Amino acid sequence: MGWVYLFIAALFEVGWPFGLKMASNSSYKLWWILFAIIAMTLSGVFLYLAQKQIPIGTSYAIWTGIGAACTFAIGVLVFHDALNLMRMLGVVLIIGGVILLKLAH
């Protein structure tokens, strides 16, 4: 169940930067900031639950890796952030590291 909690934590980890970005681009600033705070809280709660079964180094690295890669994808797809070979390579390396950590566990 720890890996399920970790995956859920990583999904909520994406919610807070998304909420803060939406707050900066929206007239509903307070609602998006509240969304970000709730996502951040839930992300921490699920990370806490995951770390009961998964070592802290592994869980934290995977949590941040999934969060970073998914936030990068949202930035490119939703907010039209720049996409070039070096940025894509960086995300591929993050994803590769996450996979290696999971396989080594």
Supply the pTM of this predicted model: 0.86
Sign, CA dihedral 78-86-67-40, equals negative
Nearest 5°: phi and psi at 34?
-60, -45
Sign, CA dihedral 19-20-26-28, equals positive
Domain ranges of the chain: 2-104
- Tens of pLDDT, residue by residue, the chain (105 residues): 999 999 999 999 999 999 999 999 989 999 999 999 999 999 999 999 999 999 999 999 999 999 999 999 999 999 999 999 999 999 999 999 988 988 887
| 60's tokens | 């934290």
